Amino acid sequence: MRSFVLVPILLVMVVAIGLAVCHAVGLEFHAKEVMAAALVCLFAGELAGAPLLLNRGVDQATMAQSALVGTVIHLFVCIAVAAVVLLGHLPLGPSFVYWLLVLYWVTLIALVIGFAQAVRSAPTAGTSRQ
């Protein structure tokens, strides 16, 4: 699956672009919050690909359901970590939530592109790969 490779690459690119923009505008970068949000999105993005890996070789309908489960896993992991950080009063500033939001959407887009390709390449119902 391409999303296993695409997610980390996009995370590094977005963090680098964010660093450049913060530096150009004169804002503080908040490296601790950015790295925490990137690690959360990396973990959630890689975990979201597990249902598709477990269902290799199935038809398109099952693959589409696996892709839906993957996006739900991605969402719930990001929400759960954000709730723990906010309600647990962890020493991360509010910029963690903003970075998590940006990185969530970037990884979701990468996952959906990879999931759509996996669904498209799956055999249609009635045919199977041997």
Residues 6+ apart with CB under 8 A from 110: 3, 6, 7, 10, 45
pLDDT along the chain (130 residues), means of 10: 82 94 90 93 93 87 92 96 89 88 94 91 71
pTM over 0.95: no
C-beta separation of 10 from 110 below 8 A: yes
Two structure tokens written together for 88: 């647990």
In the chain, where the domains are located? 3-121
How far is residue 63's CA from residue 47's CA, in Å, rounded to a whole number?
16
